[in-house]
């Protein structure tokens, strides 16, 4: 269940951009919707793998402090998502070519890289986790583009707030478990 919540939280930046895509391009095709969702899903799943292997190099060195590190990273990411959601600056959508989608997918998946680092401190099957993150992001982005066509900008920041709250709660959970309070 925790992995599903993490996947949903990580997907929220991509969902917000997908909503914006649907809102801006009202005549978006199903093929373009799938392309958007694939870009976001694949990058959200790839980045935790990269972060995991980067973190694995240092995991034994920071084993006693891993819960503090995970908490700080998740708290920072959550607060950053809240700051971005409060910003009036809309996501830049020049067009939906592969270069634009690549840049947006990388930009929205940086937090997944950090999550991958926190995964390296835990006993987790990173391949399974990355698959679940990819799948959930892909599915949510498909729905987000469709919803964006209908409801547009109204929902964009709401998705980021939800993701932020989930990340902050999970950060506190990891900290409390690491301190043997839970």
Domain around 128 = 2-178
Q: What is the mean pLDDT of residues 11-23?
A: 85
Q: Residues 160-180: pLDDT tens digits? A: 787 778 778 878 887 888 888
Query: 30-39, 44-53, 103-112: which range is least confident on average?
Result: 103-112
Confirm if 174 and 118 have CB atoms less than 8 A apart: yes
Phi-psi category of residue 93: left, alpha or beta, with phi > 0 → left and psi -120 to 50 → alpha? beta
Confirm if 138 and 40 have CB atoms less than 8 A apart: yes
Residue 50 reports pLDDT greater than 90 = yes
Count of the separate structural domains present in the chain = 1
Q: How confident is the model at residue 71 (pLDDT cuts 50, 70, 90)?
A: confident
Q: Residues 74-85: pLDDT tens digits? A: 788 788 878 877
Confirm if 44 and 137 have CB atoms less than 8 A apart: yes
Residue 18 reports pLDDT greater than 70 = yes
| Residue 2 vs residue 154, higher pLDDT | 2
Question: For residue 68, what pLDDT is reported?
Answer: 85
The structure tokens 């990891």 sit at 174
Q: Residues 117-164: pLDDT tens digits? A: 989 888 899 999 999 999 999 999 999 999 888 876 666 667 778 777
Confirm if 45 and 137 have CB atoms less than 8 A apart: yes
**pTM score above 0.85:** no
Question: For residue 133, what pLDDT is reported?
Answer: 97
């Amino acid at each position: 269940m925790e992995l599903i919540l993490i996947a949903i939280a990580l997907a929220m930046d991509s969902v917000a951009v997908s909503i914006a895509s649907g809102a801006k391009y009202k005549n978006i095709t199903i093929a373009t919707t799938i392309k958007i969702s694939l870009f976001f899903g694949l990058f959200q799943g790839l980045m935790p793998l990269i972060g995991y292997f980067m973190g694995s190099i240092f995991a034994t060195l920071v084993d006693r402090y891993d819960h503090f590190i995970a908490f700080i990273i998740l708290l920072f990411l959550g607060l950053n998502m809240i700051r971005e959601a409060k910003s009036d600056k809309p996501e830049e959508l020049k067009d939906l070519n592969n270069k634009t989608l690549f840049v947006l997918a990388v930009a929205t998946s940086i937090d997944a890289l950090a999550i991958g680092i926190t995964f390296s401190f835990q006993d987790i099957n990173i391949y399974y986790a990355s698959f679940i993150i990819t799948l959930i992001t892909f599915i949510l982005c498909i729905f987000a583009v469709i919803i964006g066509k209908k409801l547009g900008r109204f929902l964009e920041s709401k998705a980021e707030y939800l993701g932020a709250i989930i990340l902050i709660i999970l950060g506190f959970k990891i900290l409390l478990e690491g301190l043997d309070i839970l």
